[in-house]
Amino acid sequence: MEERILLLALRGRDAPVIAQLLGRLGHVSTICTSAAMLADELTRGAAMALVTEESLVGADHAGMTAWLAAQEPWSDFPFILLATKRAGLRPKDAQRTLENLGNVVVLERPIHSETLSSAVNSALRVRRRQYEARARLIELQVAEDRLRQLNATLEGRIGERTAELSQANNQLMQEVAEREKAQAALVQAQKMEAVGQLTGGIAHDFNNLLTVISGNLELIERRAGEPRIVTYAGLARHAADRAAKLTHQLLAFSRRQQLSLAPISLNALVEGMNDLLERSLGPQIHKVIQLDKSAPWVMADANQLELAVLNLAINARDAMNGSGTLTIETALSDVVANGLAEGRYGVVRVSDTGTGIPDALLDKVFDPFFTTKPLGKGTGLGLSQVFGIARQSGGTAQIERTGKKGTTVSIWMPLSQQPPAEAEPIAAARKAGDAAPGTVLVIDDDDGVRRFIAECMEMLGYRVTEAANGEAGLEHLGNEVPDLMIVDFAMTGMTGVDVAEQARFIAPHLPIILATGYAETGTAEDTEVIRAVLRKPFHIDELAHAVHAALAG
């Protein structure tokens, strides 16, 4: 429609002739029968209009004039006016009509077809340029609208992007914090493991020395006739016992001591410590016991757990300077402490109203030899022992501040089922010195420890054969099968367990006692050939009891 040519030629056959001429030139034309029809066709679209002058005389130009006045800024509709040749100026009405048409080219008749064709092509080119201008204006308008929309939503998009960046930054910071926390936990675990290995090795060697010192002092006590010598030996042996307690603390921290894990009622354990706590705390400390109604049972070593609670109570007493409130409570908790698997745990909490511990030191209190007490007032092994006992039992220990003052230490232990009622305990072992005659093979690579055990066995009435290592012991065993074998756990070459396994093939029914100052948890329980485990340093009566029990089966 926008490429067609409108024709307004009302005289004779002018319109058909001109349409035929334009058709031969390849143009589409529409013949209008009046000026009003021309105005209507203009609204539908056209490239140009070819009008004869006489067709406008006396016609109603209002519609056409209104359309021309309302053209878009890009439009200047072209007209070709075929005028009648005349002498002089045109009348004023005809001149006004030409002015109203605007973009008009006047051709006087008669006119050659080539001239008309050239004029039509020129008008069409002008109109097409106007169409191109319209397209550019539309594109500019669309771009302007798009830019206006972008500007209108720019602030919102900036806010959304800022929120996304903030969220990503927060997530990154959280991941960095978690990574730093995990890294710190790994470093702490590696440090604790390294210190544990060191303390475990030291405790093993120290236990061998204490076995010789304490055992020979006890032999001196039993055989000395002068009271003063007995007194001196007793004092020295008590000092050796205190040193043995320190090695037990080292082993508890390093998790290399042998615990006797069994189901324990937390409520019964705390209640049973009441008298001991009263004597240890003194009259100025107000003690509060809060027992959980569910009466939780846990898997732990009763003696070691009592020692852990007693250590916490003594630390609390010292933190309160002898005056304050100590609270011991038991609980059943589903909340998982750090480092524990999900599940239910029995908890013992010891809280005090003392001076508390600074936040900066909370991560160090379980380190061995770390203490907040003045110089000479503590070994720094109490809390590390508590931590070691808890971890070795399958739980953990945690410490936290209680408000501005006071400290709470929690021991988490894995739950256990209440065991069935036990039968009456068997008769106590016979006292030292009433053992039946028999032979004992003692295998230990420490000369002092081996000689002490042999001396004790001879004193108890046994005939003793000694071996300095596992290979020599098995060689003796191949020549003569004794009634009992006592073997050290940690020896150069074959360990005590290795020797026991080999001895089973030589003498399947031989009772074996494992003497150790350094045994990983479960070492003795993992083999059926070990009849009993004797932890160094030990007293003569403990040795006699273990020997009698092993022989009795």
Neighbours of 302 (CB within 10 A): 17
DSSP string computed for 244-272: HHHHHHHHHHHT-S----EEEEHHHHHHH
Structure tokens at 72: 């878009």
CA separation (Å) from 104 to 31, 54, 126? 19, 15, 12
Parallel, antiparallel, or unpaired: how do β-strands 463-467 and 439-443 relate? parallel
Structure tokens at 270: 């705390």
Q: Judge whether residue 434 has pLDDT over 60.
A: no
Q: Judge whether residue 30 has pLDDT over 90.
A: yes
What's the chain's length in residues?
553
What was the pLDDT predicted at 379? Answer: 45
User: CA 304, 526, 419: angle at the middle one, nearest 5?
Assistant: 55
pLDDT band for position 227 (cuts 50, 70, 90): confident
The more confident residue out of 221 and 439 is 439
How far the first Cα of the chain sits from its last, in Å, is: 118
Place of tokens 């036990």: 422
Rounded Cα gap, residues 309 and 351, in angstroms? 11
Choice among 26-40, 43-57, 302-316, 515-529 with the minimum mean pLDDT: 515-529
pLDDT band for position 401 (cuts 50, 70, 90): low
Closest by CA to 79, choosing from 59, 53, 60, is 53
Name the strand (E) or helix (H) holding 429: none
Beta bridge partners, 342, equal none
CA separation (Å) from 225 to 53, 229, 268? 160, 8, 45
Sign of CA dihedral 190, 244, 409, 299: positive
pLDDT band for position 494 (cuts 50, 70, 90): confident
The more confident residue out of 207 and 264 is 264
The more confident residue out of 506 and 238 is 506
pLDDT band for position 467 (cuts 50, 70, 90): very high
CA separation (Å) from 540 to 131, 183, 380, 453? 119, 49, 31, 9
Rounded Cα gap, residues 81 and 108, in angstroms? 8
State pLDDT tens for residues 345-384. 888 989 888 877 766 566 666 666 556 555 444 444 457 7
Sign of CA dihedral 308, 309, 311, 316: positive
Q: Judge whether residue 169 has pLDDT over 90.
A: yes
What was the pLDDT predicted at 426? Answer: 34
What was the pLDDT predicted at 123? Answer: 92
The more confident residue out of 234 and 204 is 234
62-69 vs 35-44: helix crossing angle, rounded to 10:
30
What was the pLDDT predicted at 423? Answer: 39
- pLDDT above 70 coverage of the chain, percent: 81
